[in-house]
Structure 1
Amino acid sequence: MNTLRIGLVSISDRASSGVYQDKGIPALEEWLASALTTPFELQTRLIPDEQAIIEQTLCELVDEMSCHLVLTTGGTGPARRDVTPDATLAIADREMPGFGEQMRQISLRFVPTAILSRQVGRYP
């Protein structure tokens, strides 16, 4: 059986600069371990909220690391520095309709401010 290659990208100025410990990647790792039965390997990145860096990282994971799936966490709110959706839209042109709406609906069960999220689903 082939191994699924998954990229995990946590986008946070403070976590990437060591102000606090990143919790996004460990949470995604835990969820994937419970949700997948297919063998998988992870490529993880912790980067700041910089659109050019996010775009470069997403392209690297797909084009150079041959990831089948890339999940991002962080940088989806309404703040000026929250540019993860913008970076995703800039490098992938095919939309996954309904993805953002579903993620907001699920997230609202846990976090009331989830309605402010700008989540998107795209693929190259």
Structure 2
Amino acid sequence: MQWKVAILTASDKGSAGEREDTSAQVIRELVEEELGGEIVDYRIVPDEQDEITAALIEMVDYYQADLVLTTGGTGLGPRDVTPEATQRVIDREVPGIAEAMRMFSIQKTKRAMLSRGICGIRGRSLILNLPGSPKGVHESLVVIMDQLPHALGILTGTIGEHKR
């Protein structure tokens, strides 16, 4: 199955054209090569909760993305509001995915414990907050990539839940 994937970068400098969006490039490569996903939408917005929220809603409700991957805005800075924006649009959280990403990344750098990224469900779509750095994005996605097809299959109803 080819999953429909949207990428949202939250970055003041990126949205102003002052910084190249290398994290989204890492996401795109991993999604296309490892997940076999099709990018149905990609955009950069400033670190503004309302703009992030609106983009997430549109990516899920209009573009019908099965998976929305955000990058940026998950740290401790005053303008890091991606988790809050995500919280506003999801129906339910999926904490195990965010926990697994942090647990793996903390083995590489203790600063991973400062990531506030969350994961949740909106309708039949999975929204996942990734760090803002290309290295953080890669580490986070690599550890969960093999579980995404199963999670997306259950969410979209293409596979049933399995017993252990």
> 1:76 aligns to what SS in structure 2?
coil
Query: Could you give the per-residue CA deviations for residues 75-123 of structure 1, whole angstroms, max 9, x where no partner exists?
Result: 0001111000000001112010222211112223444422100010111
2:40 to 35, 39, 42: 42
Q: Which residue of 2 aligns with 1:30?
A: 29
Return the alpha-carbon distance in structure 2 between the equivalents of residues 60 and 103 of structure 1: 26
How has the CA–CA distance of structure 1 residues 110 and 42 changed in structure 2, closer, same or farther, with 3 Å as cutoff?
farther
For residue 62 of structure 1, what is the amino acid of its counterpart? Answer: V
Aligned residue for 2:95, secondary structure, equals: coil
CA RMSD of aligned residues (A): 1.6
The answer to whether the 8 Å contact 1:103/1:119 transfers is no
In structure 2, distance between residues paired with 1:46 and 1:110? 28
- Aligned residues, how many? 122
Greater mean alpha carbon deviation, residues 70-79 or residues 39-48: 39-48
Aligned to 2:77: 79
2:99 counterpart letter in structure 1: E
CA deviation string 1:45-88 (max 9, x = no partner): 11110000000000000111111110101000011110000000
Q: What does residue range 66-105 of structure 1 map to in structure 2 within 5 Å?
A: 66-105=64-103
The structure with the greater share of residues assigned to helix is: 2
Letter in 1 for 2:11: S
Q: Which amino acid aligns with 2:25?
A: P
Structure 1 runs of 4+ with >4 Å offset: none
Distance 2:85 2:64 in 1: 19
Cα distance, 1:24 vs structure 2: 1.5
* Residue aligning to 2:57: 59
Match of 1:120 among 118, 122, 129: 118
Query: Taking every aligned residue pair, what percent have the same amino acid on both sides?
Result: 39
2:104 is aligned with 1:106:
yes
2:13 is aligned with 1:14: yes
CA distance in 1 between partners of 2:108 and 2:81 (Å): 23
TM-score (ref. length: structure 1): 0.89
**Unmatched segments (≥5 aa) in structure 1:** none
Contact 1:15 1:22 in 2 (8 A): yes
* Superposed displacement of residue 4, structure 1: 2.2
Q: Which runs of 5+ in 2 are unaligned?
A: 123-164
